[in-house]
Structure 1
Amino acid sequence: MDAILCYSQSAEELLKRKKIHREIIFQYLTKHNIVMPSNAEKCLLVQKVIEYWREGSTASQRNYSSGSTSGNNAPPSDIAASYKDDYQTMGLEFCKWFYQLLNSQNPLLQEQSKEWGPQHFWEDVILKFSYRTSEQQLEVYTGAVMVSLRLLALPKEEHLFLNPNLTGNGLKCIHSPHGLVIIAVAGTIHRESICLGIFEQIFGLIRCPSSENNWKMKFVHLKITGQGGTAPATVQPNEDSEPPVIKYESNELLQVFEEHIVGICD
């Protein structure tokens, strides 16, 4: 590796070398929440890495010149304050925070895990977890501890990596009249370099006045469809193995949380 670094004239040349395998580059992009088709050729992955590095360099220069120290690790309590009525941007920042936090629990990544736990959920939170391989299965969990532990098991015990599609139609975020922020996101699920299927996840967020007005998860709905299953109607992988997209309309997202909204208003 030292010899490769020594004789490489540019980052692009370095990444294109045979000893830098395609799987390594794909895992790097996935780790940084950059969605690429699972069958993308190495040259396309290299181009995406170069673009990512250039964007990061430009952003760093802007932050340095403005004296800003903010980044993408802002907790949920700061998101809405930063973006006010721009709930799509709020949803984007929340998803970056959530999936980086969840995926950091995966021991295969050999990263220092971040602070995961029930503190991010309401005490009466509900998780509906459905998955389909040969048959449809449904699990329901209630309570912050149980929901936190079940979600934690995905990366920590099952070694799954959730790669959300945060571009285009992969993310949809709306705000209900009752103060509930609803976020729907689609993506792919991986174990190491193998794509196992697609997922759809919906979050319901409400501010918690007893916890410094932080946003906490009130409801989580997770659907996983394996490669051998049939994708649900609300998640559609595009042609040519493009990332999956959300097909929910705004009124459909509101209906998902109707029973919880009634509880909030009481």
Structure 2
Amino acid sequence: MPISDSQKQGLRELLVNDKNLAVLLQLAKAATKNVCKTEDPEEALRLITAHIPDIYVLLSKRAITKELLFTYLSSRRADAATDFSKADLIAKVIQYWKQEHQPSTELSGDQNSSLLHKKNEEDYPIHTIARKFGEWFFERLNADTFSLVDLWADAALHLTIIASDGINEWECETAAEVLSTLTSAKQQFDFYFNPNLTHAGIQGRMDSYGQFVVICCGTLHSSDSCVGIFECAFGLLRDPFADNNWKPKKVKCFLKSEVQPPELHYLSLSETLQTALELPVPTDDFN
């Protein structure tokens, strides 16, 4: 979603202040790949919006934390319940800016219909759950807290890693093997998974067997540099013995190193998820 004038005004409220100035300058430095190192807040904001022309992508940056967004909403007395994910907070911030700063001029019928359709699609329950699952999974994987109880006992994994020295593939058919393979690969290559938690980077689908499929993508990082991209598909089933929560039954991961990786990866550009993208998308609640 392009950054509108009302969102630029909201970004100014969010970042151009003493408390969040360091975040603003860090974002400007990263957006220009260390070329521009301005100390002027307004110039930093201009650089950010020029080089990151998508509000969801910008607010999903690691430098903009859940705490920062929550504090901002709370200070504005906007709705920010404690049961949230970062994706939820981003949506609330954008909605708040729309209400507070949107010009009074009305959209044409076609524009209004198009925007309403896009908003409604992002809010489908299957996509909302997919975003929450993606944030939960990668937070635990990055923190090395993902465990056996988070998987079905007979969980299966197909992992492909493409690097400069060749292609490596692993296939596992038990939870213990899946956990060991994922954590070993992460630690061996010192990977940090940065998922694209916008609608352009994570969505839900339903396969022909009635299985909930989460498809997502993002960038791979090592230390302070981006080293590649990843694409994942999760087949989820509810576990009646774990508060009926969704748990991975099947996991397919594609990791690829790149000399010049993109700043953010999108499902539309994925190499391995195009077939999954064509699966049906339920529009209502599902069990």
Spell out the pairing of 1:31-42 with structure 2 (5 A cutoff).
none
1:246 corresponds to 2:260: no
Residue number in structure 1 paired with 2:106:
none
1:70 corresponds to 2:71: no
Spell out the pairing of 1:59-138 with structure 2 (5 A cutoff).
59-60=73-74, 68-72=81-85, 86-105=125-144, 115-134=145-164, 135-138=166-169
Q: Match for 2:162: what amino acid?
A: R
1:136 and 1:16 map into 2 onto residues whose CA distance is 39
Spell out the pairing of 1:130-149 with structure 2 (5 A cutoff).
130-134=160-164, 135-149=166-180
Q: Match for 2:172: what amino acid?
A: Y
Contact between 1:201 and 1:221, CA under 8 Å: does it hold in 2? Answer: yes
Residue number in structure 1 paired with 2:19:
11
Q: Deviations over 1:95-149 (max 9, x none)?
A: 11111111112xxxxxxxxx42111111111110001123222111110111112
Contact between 1:199 and 1:225, CA under 8 Å: does it hold in 2? Answer: yes
Q: Match for 1:185: what amino acid?
A: C
Contact between 2:205 and 2:276, CA under 8 Å: does it hold in 1? Answer: no
Q: Match for 2:130: what amino acid?
A: G
1:252 and 1:56 map into 2 onto residues whose CA distance is 32
Q: Deviations over 1:218-242 (max 9, x none)?
A: 111110111159xxxxxxx7xxx44
Q: Deviations over 1:209-259 (max 9, x none)?
A: 233322110111110111159xxxxxxx7xxx441111344656659xxxx
Residue number in structure 2 paired with 1:208:
239
1:37 and 1:249 map into 2 onto residues whose CA distance is 31
Q: Give the count of matched residue pairs.
A: 206
Residue number in structure 2 paired with 1:151:
182
- SS of equivalent residue, structure 2 residue 85: coil
Contact between 2:141 and 2:183, CA under 8 Å: does it hold in 1? Answer: yes
Please, which of 71, 90, 100 is the counterpart of residue 57 of structure 1? 71
Q: Deviations over 1:174-200 (max 9, x none)?
A: 123644110111111011111111110
- SS of equivalent residue, structure 2 residue 194: strand
Q: Match for 1:56: what amino acid?
A: F
Considering Cα pairs closer than 8 Å and 6+ residues apart, tell me whether 1 or 2 has the greater RCO.
Answer: 1
Task: List gaps (5 residues or longer) in structure 2.
Answer: 1-16, 38-43, 50-57, 87-122, 281-287
Task: List gaps (5 residues or longer) in structure 1.
Answer: 1-8, 27-35, 74-83, 106-114, 230-236, 256-266
Residue number in structure 1 paired with 2:55:
none
Query: 1:100–1:251: structure 2 CA closer, same or farther, 3 Å change rule?
Result: closer
Q: Match for 2:154: what amino acid?
A: D
Residue 59 of structure 1 deviates from its aligned partner by 3.7
Q: Match for 2:70: what amino acid?
A: G
Larger strand proportion of the pair: 1
2:128 and 2:200 map into 1 onto residues whose CA distance is 13
Contact between 1:207 and 1:213, CA under 8 Å: does it hold in 2? Answer: yes
Computed over aligned residues only, the root mean square deviation of the Cα atoms, in angstroms, reads 4.0
1:181 corresponds to 2:212: yes
TM-score using structure 2 length: 0.58
Contact between 1:170 and 1:185, CA under 8 Å: does it hold in 2? Answer: yes
Identity rate, percent: 24
Q: Deviations over 1:23-67 (max 9, x none)?
A: 9x86xxxxxxxxx797796645698657977632244458x8879
- SS of equivalent residue, structure 1 residue 99: helix
